[in-house]
Structure 1
């Protein structure tokens, strides 16, 4: 079953606009979260709904990223602050890399166990079909 193509145009009906925004917003935040996990990046997203409500997503959090972005010019003039930030970021990146490695290993183990379960189910079905003569007569 193929997806239908949707014409990209501004949605005029306000209810449809709000529903579409809600669905797309959660997808956007989910994709941003996956990007943070996979690549070990920091991200801040701020969106305004059609009703003018503010929604945000940030990793590690929006406030710290915005503060760092706004004060970026001030820290560039201070080499001690730059070195400290680089050390903290390197340590955090090392932790993220370790966690990503653990996640990859665990996902591999889960996949192996799923395949093992499928083969056990297949063996059980095969053994049940071979013993048809021992089944009770109804």
Structure 2
């Protein structure tokens, strides 16, 4: 018969709880003994029953193991505290370093703007001059690049406009050609006005003079 999985919660039945405690206690003491023998580990186990009864196991002196535990705990706490202090000191050092860098950058900025130059030596002034010249070179290079890109863009737009203009001129020329052809047809069919003497016009005279 397959045993069901025990739920990890307090056993409500007092009898079942006491039976389970006895079994698990003996199993835990057995495991502690096996661990000390097989692995040569210093093991100390203390158990208090629900009624306050003490059960313990130690492969060495219980007091010795407890003292060793307390000393080790203090060492760990001191190490952690020292680590926290080191972290705090590192943060303070980083903050101090960052403040110094910001102050240095602010001074350099004022010097580049032409301020606070009274205490600068000739060498510092020459360095500032070279730095400004390098900055101007980069600025001009970037400006020329932008101008070149703008000129290229304008040329492309000009080319597109010329193509559109040529297409419009071609379309208008075709329309004017059709209009001229239509005017030629109307001119050929035109009958001139009659003369003042009541004649029938040029076309009538032409038809009258033709042989029958």
Give the TM-score band, short-chain normalised: 0.3 to 0.5
Q: Which structure would you say has the larger RCO, counting Cα contacts within 8 Å and 6 or more residues apart?
A: 1
Larger Rg: 2
